[in-house]
Amino acid sequence: MFRVMKTTFLYILMVVASVSCRIHKLLLTDDQRKYVDITTFGFLERGILEVNLVNFMMPSGPFGEYGFTLDRTINDAISPYLAQGNSNSCFLKENVITPQHPAIVFLKMDFENLRLNVTCRAASQHIYRNKSVIPRVFPNDAEEKCSYDLLPIQRETRNQIDYYNTSFALYITSKKEEGLYNLYFNNCPYKGEGNPTPVNAIIEIFESNEGNYLSAGEIPLPLLYAVTSSIFLFCAILWTYILKTSRQTVFRIHIIMCILVYLKAASLAFHGINYHFIQIRGEHVTAWAILYYITHLLKGAVLFVTIVLVGTGWNFIKHILSDRDKKLFMIVIPLQVLANVAEIILAESEEGAVEHNAWRDIFIVVELVCCVAIVFPVVWSIRHLQDASTTDGKAAINLRKLKLFQHFYVMVACYIYFTRIVVFILKKTVRFQYSWMDEMFRELATLVFFLMTGYKFRPAAANPYFTPTHFDDVKPEVLSDIGILEGVTRIPNRGERRREDLQPLMQDADYNSD
């Protein structure tokens, strides 16, 4: 396991060190995709998108049509403009327009005249050769027309191979032009049939919102992560104080819960610092990024370990994990590490990279398997407690424990459903300026889940599910029916009742034998 973690950290270091975040560089090597999703970015007024195409190379001859398409949406939902992506249609040829895409720009490469032919499908789009020629002041009618400069293509011949270079810049002049912009590179077969020809190129992308390198929906994230990190740190300190001052038995699972909350607070803090540097510099500081990904990786593993341990009843019902529980750990922990690594690679790789989609599919499948797997221990505990409540003499206590684990099952199911499905739907439906809200609701759901789990599984004597709540539940014991003690009964004192109630929580040989 240590060797796997070491290899994972080295791989994370290599991935993080090779990426420059909001200043992108995408390499296309023998790429045969019909379209390449280069970038998605939310632009506000005075936002700038600059694209440089460097060393574009294709096989000799008229093998295809090449160029860029730029469309605008109001959210991150699946674009109907790309609904034909698997068909034989070519966006450069058909110039598709839909009401969902009020602003579409086509930039088609003309190799005979060595220029980019621009076609605007919106009233207000301002395209320039590069960002250095963008004027500081615009005329009053600037918003009412589509304007663009001549966009030349430079050709260089090296070793009898032609290389092409070009660039263009988009400037957002008003609030009407704000939106979530999607940039694609298109590689269309010459006759509209067959597979596209392989191309090689370097595409450099520069994105900013008036000096802020974060997308419009990401601008509040540094502050959000700072606030949530402070909240989780306060909860971790409070939990530490509760464990330190508790007069009751503190189990090892309580210590693991405490470590988890500290890791969560540290992960959010490093994430916020990382986003802060991206915001002001356009690239992250490698040290902070690595610290974030390490704590994020550990936090994800400890979270699933904690849920599985609580679900199996470790320390609460039994002290020793059964073989079935150990096998589950051997499956869940490596899968969760793989899911976290896939998430890191998704965050650090370019959208247009070939491996990006592969890692996205891996992340979705592995995350789904982990979420399903962690529910099984809770189901096993509930089934065992249902059987125990009808077979032993501690029916009342087992019923309270059964109710506790039923509540925990509902909590885990709601947490998984909300953070994996509801948050995803929210991200795809809200306007692009408010895409940060999915992170806010994810962290709030995590906070509520942590608080409820801590409350329900706090040190046992303070837990209403682990102690008798009604004095009437205690049956009096008849001491004698003769002599002076006739009719006198004895009621067990509080210490005896507490020992009796806590005993089944520490011992359960029948469950371990399963």
Token pair, residue 479, equals 């001491």
Q: Which of 209, 225, 240 is the last residue of a domain?
A: 209
> Are 72 and 220 found together in one domain?
no
Pairing of strands 477-478, 489-490: antiparallel
Maximum Cα–Cα distance across the chain: 121
146 in a structural domain: yes
Tell me the H-state helices in 246-374: 252-281, 286-312, 323-348, 354-373
404 in a structural domain: yes
> Are 167 and 223 found together in one domain?
no
Q: Which of 209, 232, 258 is the last residue of a domain?
A: 209
Q: Which of 172, 168, 178 is nearest to 109 (CA)?
A: 168
> Are 128 and 74 found together in one domain?
yes
481 in a structural domain: no
> Are 135 and 228 found together in one domain?
no
> Are 108 and 223 found together in one domain?
no
> Are 162 and 133 found together in one domain?
yes
> Are 400 and 500 found together in one domain?
yes
CATH number at residue 241: 1.20.1070
Residue 239 · residue 454 · CB < 8 Å: yes
430 in a structural domain: yes
Q: Which of 165, 189, 209 is the last residue of a domain?
A: 209
> Are 268 and 195 found together in one domain?
no
Strand, coil or helix: what is 167?
Answer: strand
Domain containing residue 314: 216-466+493-512
Residue with tokens 């970015």: 41
> Are 238 and 362 found together in one domain?
yes
Radius of gyration over every alpha carbon of the chain, rounded to an integer in angstroms: 31
Work out whether the CA dihedral 503, 504, 510, 514 comes out positive or negative: negative
483 in a structural domain: no
Work out whether the CA dihedral 284, 203, 166, 208 comes out positive or negative: negative
pLDDT value of residue 20 = 43
> Are 249 and 164 found together in one domain?
no
User: φ and ψ at 34, to 5 degrees?
Assistant: -70, -35
pLDDT value of residue 475 = 46
> Are 220 and 151 found together in one domain?
no
Number of domains the chain is built from: 2
Q: Which residues of the chain have pLDDT under 70?
A: 1-22, 61-63, 78-89, 93-103, 122-124, 137-145, 147, 191-194, 315-321, 385, 388-399, 460-514
Residue 292 · residue 277 · CB < 8 Å: no
pLDDT in tens, 418-460: 998 889 888 888 999 999 999 999 999 999 999 999 998 888 6
300 in a structural domain: yes
CATH number at residue 114: 2.60.120
pLDDT value of residue 312 = 76
237 in a structural domain: yes
Quote the CA–CA distance of 389 and 387 in Å, as a whole number. 6
Residue 489 · residue 479 · CB < 8 Å: yes
> Are 261 and 367 found together in one domain?
yes
Q: What is the pTM of this model?
A: 0.79
475 in a structural domain: no
